[in-house]
Structure 1
């Protein structure tokens, strides 16, 4: 019997499994023809249970442990156990799973990877399933009453449960596990393999409606235990959060995996073309290709304090001294889109189109596949958009909604509606329509243009694409050379309520999946707080998820109906219009006080019978946009004050207007519900704010963090430090370890006696007689006579003194690194090389600023492919699209510049704690009270009288500024940190 048969490998069974999970209606022959070099697995895929037992659960357990050496597990080296960080453990978990797959299954990792990072799987269609849909299906499968305890908990997963499930409020998959574990079809792990799960998920994505989806879920329910079903639900919802990013999986699978995914957005290509780790992609393979979605270049959010610095960053790499030109473009409020077109004799009109969003979603079904596509919202209008001789091209631009009647761009929320109306021919000549504004070209007639300059690409774009009026147009730009030309354009976009500006370097190449200073976006900040604040009525509530699960965490606020609506239109005097959704700025006591004043007055929202007599939502009654979980009569509710960055239009709210980035300021118990703002009063307030804004000078907020300064010790030439006196052990870093110090340390300067004292203070044993080929650690970095003779004798390992100092700094025994080696054996050299990455960065040790700077300077430029992740810019984009970050402390103070006014009675530990909180929360600290960018002054004093005097002194200095910072006590920072939200500063003002 063959070895393959002995190990249970059946090529016929493998081919049958391959046909199940990957053909999608294709035969194996068709698949072989399309992908002739694809890898073949030698055995069936692993059981689905192995996926979470060997990968998901270990990663989840690993992310729960705090980072740092104290919590790392041991690994064995030449000199005994050393420590391993959680990050290294995470890589080992992933590497072990991939190695097991290669050994037991084969080189085709695609069936597993599409389940590991399902949010990046473009080959499988959408399921059309959310938590509520899955909850209804599970209720029917388990045949439980929807009004029973478990049925209610599933269908109202954000609400507090009636039993142990209440602990799972806000975690849908966890709540499903709680309910399923009470009535499982099987308690042991199921027999479904990964390939079979993929097969049924493909069928689930193709199913239309609950009638076809329910039988598929029944199969999963019968063949999986509750834990398997919990992970399956997370895969369907594409909400994994296992503690490892897609970049980690890509990097471990293949060095070029992320680069290939950037130009293809295809997990299939990543797995099938890069199955051999030794194979590397060439330059041509990492370029964009026709009909293949790529990850576009993005604009960097500029944190500089002046337009001059922006322009300098755009022109500093200019090889031509007389070319200081940069371009100014309007930033459009639409959806980033790429359009591919190629000759195709089989397509009507002779050309084929492909449209894809920035995230790789295919929109060809909406905007059209050819010139004759009757269901097309765009392509059927583009017959005259391209110059004669254009055979294929790739365009990069923004899809926006153009209002033909008003002759202006409409906001982003109207794009899908306009495209569907255009597609169904429900539009009028003067209605809204999708318009593709093109600002770049990446491919033309078989030639990739990404390596050409932006100026050359725009010249090619102008010749190749004449465009079609209000269908496909080239986005205009203004060529400028002076920073003074930015402000007038920024004022113009403010007046037109546009998104902002994008500044571009015309000499730059196109850099895929990158943010850099070649493209800089500038967004205005205006309408600050509408003077002071807006008083609105709470009319609805939303239950939170995660750590906020089981309680109301955000509120729908409304504007009262104005007198005109009440008297002329006969509107109920108690009616309110939905206006904004507020979830930030609340402390625990604020939630408690709102709960105290509204307890027993909340009603569950009935979608079939909404309370239209009291509350009007956006987009009409039928759509019920921003529908709350519960509602309250305005006359029984409370008034709150809300701060905001600006006002903007939105169809999600009743009167088409809302607040951007609203934040809770305070509870107004002194006001009754009928004294809150009505709709007409708000419009007047906004008009006044607009007029005030025009009179103010435009300033860019300074967000750049100051560089950290380190105080250098003063060393007098020729002076040797006195030996430290041993006063007993301070730690057990070197406990049980015998060391012999052979020479002094030169950097930093430490004498032999000082090194010996440090070793004894940290539990080590000092020997004055070196013994080669023993467990004794020899320390030295100079070839004095004794050391030279030992080296000449051979077979001796000598470590540098910086190993001792690094161990003490980290407070645990470090594995050796190349920087710690003075003269060692080849075995120890190989061991040390494994403890740093390819650039020399330690896996187990924290680097100081100077060492990190040297490491970055020595990195080869060709290895740095991608720009670092722009956390602040990414968070701002998410905020602009309405995402609530809840209790993320990492961006709590990110928009603030803080000055600490310290009293004489303040301890350094108290001040350091407050400063660290601000820095961790993304804030910037300045030591200069004259800094015009200061937003908040925090007075630190343990004595009330001193605090007030100090606050008065500060106010006298800042009172003449155009923008006066808030002055608060230290308790404001302490409470913000405690509540994980930015609280109102005025409530903490020292009086």
Structure 2
């Protein structure tokens, strides 16, 4: 998606100001409130805070759904979903009673990101922080000011602990100031009026007085929520779908076809009046929420199955996934404007781009519509099209990846006949034609209509092509094509499907190349900087600046010096364990980045003094870690020091076996890039040459491309990868068992998997000698007794294992005794550690024949008795070592060593086993205890069935257990005269320990 700023006059992007008369004319039946709106603080007291509390608590077991909370009773017995609905229903009911039927003023603040009628404010966290510092009249170098301006950075004080949560940090700073402590008197209506002024203001000098008035009239908590509304980052735990569903049964449908929060509130103010059938479809010149593609599944076969093929119609469609911006075009005939056609353009997020692409054929600011005079067939009076706006480069005659779409459109506005980059609309669907909604028709029928109504304009306005397919081989072949062209990926579509507004459905499914390129699996980069995260990653380094070694750098004294050039920024692919490992290895070595004194002796960024992609922290390369990073491709970028960067970089794994000196250097990367480009050219030349030769044959032979033949069956042409990167081989003989390979075939396998081979063991350092039988060369090496000779089976096993387990790409198998042809004693002892007493590998998947031999050998071997105590102690030591090194405690070990008794209180029913005689609360409590008991057992606890057991460490009761029963439990302890009393806690302790993956302090969860 393109994210370039639009350098266009601000006024052209803001919706026109509508008067009350305009609104009455446009919405003659809109509701009017009979009383003033509620105070602003009621939003967070009655809605935001209660919803946030539910969000903080982990979900418990599914409860029996009850309507209790909706009739004035407690909602404690409802599950989280029902509790959220209950809170929203209460607020809406109160609004209808105390204010009226027009809830639009409240919904604008509750769902600010869905309000398309209010322009963007144009201010983000740092600008708000600067304005607050000015309003509060505090020193910009003070701790509070710095915590607002550097809100992502962690700190020790109360005002700087909430790293990554800007609104929360504002609350900490504001709560110290001598402002009001009680809630303010500003109403929701007043808040909306001032926010309208804030959105209309274009300069900081105009925005500051408005924010200052909010500051004077609101307390810190009100301001915190106001800031979240301005930033449109509410995250209260309830989606717009929940609010819409509570407001009116047709609300979500109307929003899907209109993208208008105002219409949802004004046209559906009475829940008893439903939308008419003709009002449920899309409307011309009204933005709708488009259908989205489902995320990729692991299996292509499963994806095809979701397309519901039949024997009569097994076909699905393959389209290239475009790298642009989703765009819908509306056109209607209008004789009142020059050219007779009126256009509107909206993005997926319902942003109006008509000002950019044009509202008519002769619109001077239209970057696209001026080329559409003859783009529609005769008789087309109105149409809605769905497509992708991409940037096209005429010189390369190809779309521009990571395109500057809006910049290209503005350039086209200024000079429409220049030969520079331009916007092109690729249309892939038609949804409306001459007054008829086509969304219920099948995709096949819609595409037929599209072909008949559109007259493509070359490299301006085109129909996006597709290909029909029936099996996975065709998908894989198409994937290889898009990878070669550095494309986004593919979209699979079901031609039998309707268009589903505002849905992510299996009828459309993304297939991304998942980094299937030459650069995808072996870039080992050194970390040179870190960036603090926001949200749940706040307060910690969440992404990293990676660099390449600059080997030719020397100090002023002529000595070689550790220095790296910035290359890419990696923030995806990490899990909690990865962050913990990196933190463990670099703790105490990070240094704050000082823009005035950049560490140019160690790190060079792009941009000179501008310091592009400047990190928050930096680290010396020799103190850092090496990350294995995969990426889709390499692209040009002036934001990084070497002028290139990775496209879609993603963390793969931590290379604990490497340090900065063995990470990728600038020259090694350039060599790799050059080799890849050369191989690509050679492949292209070979394909073209094969086509020329085929013309001379009398019998045609199907063309094979990228390892696939013309038939449906997929042919595997040989393993390739990067598992032997950096390794040198001297292969002396062919391979015998278990798989026969000639010496030349083994050498090609090594080369295709990243290794190098030589014809002598002294040609390169650390050469791995390979042989499977004793020849003259092999015998001469054995005489020295200092060289290890490996069997070819190790090479074959490494390749096979990496094909089986793709999650262990680039993983070299440890060498086992079966892999050694000849080895020194130290090497033999090392190999013995990689198998068990029966020679079963710890890391390699064995074959069926090997498994049979193992079982036969085991049946003949008398095993030594195992001491359970020693085994348990060894396991304890191993797990503790892993936890100390940053690994998460295994879930099956969480409650190890604890003995737990689950107390089931007596039921009111005479037959407790008969669930039909139990009330809903008893059923929920019984289920919750049952789930907690299973969780405890799974996590290693000993669960006992009697309270008399002297080893009990914890007694778990339901949160609603009566005081009499708790007293009875405690009395039983006294009578038994226990030396150490068990902890008496509720099921919440088990649930929270499981959620947090650690044993928590019992004090907070004591049963009372």
Determine if the TM-score, normalized by the shorter chain, exceeds 0.5.
yes
Q: Cα deviations across residues 776-817 of structure 1 (Å, max 9, x unaligned)?
A: xxx7xxxxxxxxxxxxxxxxxxxxx54549877743499xxx
1:501 paired with 2:495, answer no
Alignment match, 2:46? 54
Q: 1:480 Cα shift? A: 3.8
Which residue of 301, 307, 314 maps to 2:307?
314
2-side partners of 1:598 and 1:978: how far apart?
A: 28
1:32 maps to 24
Matches of 2:192 and 2:300, distance apart in 1 = 53
- Displacement after TM superposition at 1:646 (Å): 3.8
1:896-935 alignment runs, 5 A limit? none
Q: Mark the CA change 1:666 to 1:702 in structure 2 (over 3 Å): closer, same or farther.
A: closer
Question: 2:617 matched to 1:630?
Answer: yes
User: How many angstroms does 1:261 deviate by?
Assistant: 0.5
Asked if the contact 2:391–2:424 (Cα under 8 Å) also holds between the matched residues in 1, the reply is: yes
1:616, distance to aligned residue in structure 2 (A): 5.7
Check if 1:173 corresponds to 2:157: no
Within 5 A, what are the aligned runs for 1:530-929?
533-561=522-550, 574=563, 576-582=565-571, 584-585=574-575, 587=578, 590-596=581-587, 598-599=589-590, 601-605=591-595, 626-632=613-619, 638-644=624-630, 646-649=632-635, 651=637, 653-654=639-640, 655-658=643-646, 660-663=648-651, 665-666=653-654, 671-672=659-660, 675-685=662-672, 731-735=903-907, 737-739=908-910, 756=911, 758=912, 801-804=915-918, 810-812=924-926
With over 3 angstroms needed to count, the CA separation of the structure-2 counterparts of 1:169 and 1:623, relative to structure 1, is same
Partner residue in 2 for 1:401: 391
SS in structure 2 at match of 1:66: coil
- 1:416 counterpart residue number: 406
Contact 1:169 1:545 in 2 (8 A): yes
Contact 2:520 2:631 (C-alpha < 8 Å) held by counterparts:
no
Q: Is the 8 A contact 2:567 2:645 kept in 1?
A: no
State the shift of 1:506 in Å: 2.5
- Name the structure 1 match of 2:774: none
1:491 aligns with 2:480: yes
**Structure 1 residue 195: Cα displacement:** 0.9
| Residue matched to 1:97 | 91
Which whole-Å deviations, capped at 9, do the CAs of 1:381-433 have from their partners, x for residues lacking one? 2222222332221110111111111111121343233223323439841x221
- Matched residues in 1 for 2:370 and 2:549: separation? 46
CA distance in 2, matches of 1:175, 1:484: 53
Q: Quote the residue 1:829 is aligned against.
A: none
Q: Which residue of 1 aligns with 2:334?
A: 344
Q: Structure 2: 5+ residue runs without aligned partners? A: 1-13, 684-705, 709-713, 717-802, 807-900, 932-936, 944-992, 999-1008
Provide the secondary structure at the position in 1 that maps to 2:185: coil
- The whole-number CA distance in structure 2 between the counterparts of 1:685 and 1:524 is 21
Distance 1:911 1:495 in 2: 54
SS in 1 for 2:82: helix
Match in the other structure for 1:382: 372
CA distance in 1, matches of 2:294, 2:21: 47
Deviation readout 1:853-891 (Å, 9 max, x if unpaired): xxxxxxxxxxxxxxxxxxxxxxxxxxxxxxxxxxxxxxx
My pick for the range that moved more, 294-303 or 477-486, is 477-486
Show CA shifts across 1:550-569 (max 9, x none).
Answer: 333322111234759999xx
1:202 and 2:193 aligned = no
1:163 paired with 2:150, answer no
- What secondary structure, in the 3-state scheme, does the structure 1 residue paired with 2:424 have? strand
- How many corresponding residue pairs? 712
In the TM superposition, residue 669 of structure 1 has moved relative to its aligned partner by 8.3
- 2:319–2:467: 8 Å Cα contact kept in structure 1? yes
Q: 363, 370, 375: which one pairs with 1:373?
A: 363
Residues 1:255 and 2:242 are matched in the alignment = no
Contact kept? 1:141, 1:218, Cα under 8 Å:
yes
Q: Does the CA contact (< 8 Å) of 1:153 and 1:159 recur in 2?
A: yes
* Equivalent of residue 233 in structure 2, options 230, 235, 239: 239
CA separation in 2, counterparts of 1:215 and 1:559?
48
Residues in 2 aligned to 1:359 and 1:698: alpha-carbon distance in whole angstroms:
43
SS in 2 for 1:83: coil
Mapping 1:244-323, distance limit 5 Å: 244-303=238-297, 305-307=299-301, 310-316=303-309, 322-323=312-313
Give 1:259 shift. 0.8
Contact 2:152–2:539 at 8 Å: present in 1 too? yes
Cα distance change on mapping 1:806 and 1:232 into 2, 3 Å? closer
Structure 1 residues 552 and 257: CA distance shift in structure 2, 3 A = same
SS in 1 for 2:32: coil
CA distance in 2, matches of 1:910, 1:652: 54
- Is the 8 Å Cα contact of residues 570 and 649 (structure 2) preserved in structure 1? no
Tell me, yes or no, if the aligned pair for 1:186 and 1:224 is still in contact at 8 Å: yes
How many Å separate the matches in 2 of 1:79 and 1:422? 63
Shift, 1:164, TM fit: 1.5
How far apart are the structure 1 equivalents of 2:64 and 2:923? 16
- Please say which of residues 123-132 and 609-618 is displaced more in the overlay: 609-618
Q: Give per-residue Cα distances to partners, 1:473-497, cap 9 Å, x unaligned.
A: 0111223455543333222222212
Is structure 2 residue 434 aligned with structure 1 residue 448?
no
CA separation of 1:807 and 1:229: change in aligned 2, threshold 3 A: closer
Deviation of the 1:225 alpha carbon: 1.3
Deviations 1:899-957 (A, max 9, x none): xxxxxxxx9766999xxxxxxxxxxxxxxxxxxxxxxxxxxxxxxxxxxxxxxxxxxxx
The secondary structure found in structure 2 opposite 1:144 is coil
TM-score, normalised with respect to structure 2 = 0.64
CA separation of 1:312 and 1:159: change in aligned 2, threshold 3 A: closer
Distance 1:386 1:294, change over 3 A: same
Three-state SS of the structure 2 residue aligned to 1:349 is coil
For 2:919 and 2:265, locate their aligned partners in 1 and report how far apart those are by CA, in whole Å. Answer: 45
Q: Does the 8 Å contact 2:442/2:498 carry over to 1?
A: yes
Give the deviation of 1:82 after TM superposition.
Answer: 8.6
Structure-2 separation of matches of 1:104 and 1:265 = 28
C-alpha spacing 1:339/1:574, structure 2 compared with 1 (3 Å): same
Q: Distance in 2 between matches of 1:513 and 1:845?
A: 39
Q: Taking structure 1 as the reference length, what is the TM-score of the superposition?
A: 0.65
Is the CA contact (8 Å cut-off) linking 2:622 and 2:660 kept in structure 1? no
Unaligned runs of 5+ in 1: 1-21, 704-728, 740-755, 760-778, 780-800, 815-843, 847-906, 914-973, 980-991
Structure 1 residues 201 and 572: alpha-carbon distance in aligned structure 2, compared to 1, 3 A threshold: farther
Q: Structure 1 residues 26-35 or 150-159, which shifts more?
A: 26-35
- Map Cα deviations across residues 645-688 of structure 1 (whole Å, 9 max, x no partner): 54343748523431535226336586345x53223312444566
Q: 1:615 to 1:425 in 2, by over 3 A?
A: farther
Higher mean alpha-carbon deviation, 112-121 vs 164-173, is at 164-173
- Bigger Rg, structure 1 or 2: 2
Any idea what SS the aligned residue of 1:387 has? coil
- Aligned to 1:519, the other structure's residue is in SS state strand
Q: Is residue 459 of structure 1 aligned with residue 452 of structure 2? A: no
Deviation at 1:622, TM superposition (A): 8.6
Q: Residue by residue, what CA displacement relative to the aligned partner does 1:587-620 show, whole Å, maximum 9, x if unpaired?
A: 4653444544624x432346xx9778865657x5
Distance 1:70 1:579, change over 3 A: closer
Residue in 2 that maps onto 1:933? none
CA distance in 2, matches of 1:617, 1:292: 47
Q: Report deviation, 1:348.
A: 3.7
C-alpha deviation, 1:206, in angstroms: 1.1
Q: Give the 3-state SS of the residue equivalent to 2:646 in structure 1.
A: strand
Contact 1:82 1:813 in 2 (8 A): no
